[in-house]
Amino acid sequence: MDNVLDSNFSKAFAIAWNENQGGYSEGIAKKTLSFAKNQGLKINTVLDILCGSANFLLEMRNAGKTCTGTETLDSYIEYNKQKFPDMTFIKTDEILAFDHLGTFDLISCNHDVVNYLPTLEDWSTLFKKVYAHLNNGGIFIFDYYTKRRLKGWNEVIYDENEKLDYVKHIESDGETKTTISNIYYINLNPKTNENLDEKVYGLTNENNKYKKTENVNVEYFFENDEVLAEIKKAGYRYLITTDANFAPVSSISDMNRMHIIAIKREATTAKPQAPAAPQQPAPAAQPETPAPAQNAEENNSTETV
């Protein structure tokens, strides 16, 4: 492309990502809120791990939730703090570094962020850490590309509109990982690109040039049954597998992308009872069973762990 200004990963990528991918995160947030309401689950506090341009948190904030986002990249932190001064954004060294942030009613990790973790042990650590930082009845929601999708995925995807052009280059090693390169060319002509607001975010227009910004992610894949086993071992009482529309998945082996809803339900400790009279011994205590998820009987993708 002519008239290209090169840049490394910067605020420009956050702007482009927001424009190109933000709607997906907003949609997932709306479906999450609807799910929680239908299941009678309370959400007051939200943590989004590697929150990107904070579109998921924006929907949560608009619904009255207290929102915190983590990011490993200064560019996203700078962009989000400038755009959403009423939310909390914390720079971390890695995906798993959120131990100090307290507990939450909802923890999300969207846009295949989990695939960035290189070992199944790392995935397990994430599941356990999230469990430890959820309030009882809390929800963990995340998605990942399946092995079916990533193994052997070699493709170049190109899209364009008046605001930006997008090139996605995907190359799999066919064994354990796939490299995904995202390149954006932002049109800096203010006549066609007013809502990207280069004045606010520091993108200068020089002779109607484009701003090039890119990043490269290496994503790792594992068998679905391995992933689900690690989630169960982390302690979650309910595990629900869905597609991007939160519709039940009847066969996970056919899925390219999985959305997981895991719910933390710890049995409450029964209050001590007065001893029964000798002639009327108390019956044996029954284990407490949490209420099943709505329509669990009709949803064969819902498992009670």
Q: What is the CATH number of the domain that holds 27?
A: 3.40.50.150
The whole-number average pLDDT for the span 258-266 is: 94
| Residue of 3, 2, 57 lying closest to 207 (CA atoms) | 3
What's the pTM value of the predicted model, to 2 decimals? Answer: 0.82
* Strand 257-263 to 88-91 pairing: unpaired
Q: Map residue 239 onto helix, strand or coil.
A: strand
Separate counts of helices (H) and strands (E) for the chain: 7, 13
* 132 and 227 inside one domain: yes
CB 147 within 8 A of CB 223: yes
CA distance 52 to 119: 22
Q: In percent, how much of the chain has pLDDT > 90? A: 62
| Residue 36 and residue 128 in one domain | yes
The dihedral region occupied by 229, where left means phi > 0, alpha psi between -120 and 50, and beta the remainder, is alpha
* Statement to judge: residues 75 and 184 lie in one domain: no
User: Are 105 and 236 within one domain?
Assistant: yes
Q: Do 107 and 179 have their domain in common?
A: no
Judged against a pLDDT cut of 80, whether residue 34 lies above it is answered with: yes
Average pLDDT (262-274) is: 66
Burial of 120 (0-12, 13-18, 19+ CB in 10 A): middle
**Is residue 239 located within the same domain as residue 105?**
yes
Share of the chain above pLDDT 70, in %: 77
More confident: 3 or 122: 122
Q: Is residue 190 part of a domain?
A: yes
Task: Report the domain count for the chain.
Answer: 2
Outline where the chain has alpha helix (H).
11-39, 55-62, 74-83, 120-132, 147-150, 198-201, 224-233
Mark whether 169 and 85 lie in a shared domain.
no
pLDDT at 80: 92
Asked if the structure places residue 246 within a domain, the reply is yes
CA-only gyration radius of the chain, Å: 22
CB atoms within 10 A of CB 150: 25
**303 in any annotated domain:** no
Q: For residues 37 and 157, state if they share a domain.
A: no
pLDDT digits (tens, 9 = 90+) for 145-184: 999 999 999 999 999 888 889 999 999 999 999 999 999 9
Domain hosting residue 128, numbered range: 9-147+221-263
Res. 287: pLDDT tops 80: no
Phi, psi (degrees; rounded to nearest 5) at 121: -60, -40
Please tell me which residue, 265 or 281, carries the higher pLDDT value: 265
Query: Token pair of 270, please?
Result: 């029964």
Cβ proximity of 226 and 197 under 8 Å: no
Domain assignment present for residue 231? The answer is yes
Same domain, 232 and 254: yes
Quick one: 94 and 36 in the same domain? yes
Q: Of 88-97, 109-118, 166-175, 209-218, which gets the smallest average pLDDT?
A: 209-218
pLDDT at 296 over 60: no
Retrieve residue 238's tokens.
């309910």
Residues 122, 38, single domain; the answer is: yes
- Bigger pLDDT: 296 vs 32: 32
Are residues 161 and 33 part of one domain? no
Here the tokens at position 16 are 């482009």
Is 235 within a domain? Answer: yes
pLDDT at 240 over 80: yes
Interval 102-110 mean pLDDT? 97
Give the span between the Cα atoms of 242 and 293, in whole angstroms: 14
At 223, is the secondary structure helix, strand, or coil? coil
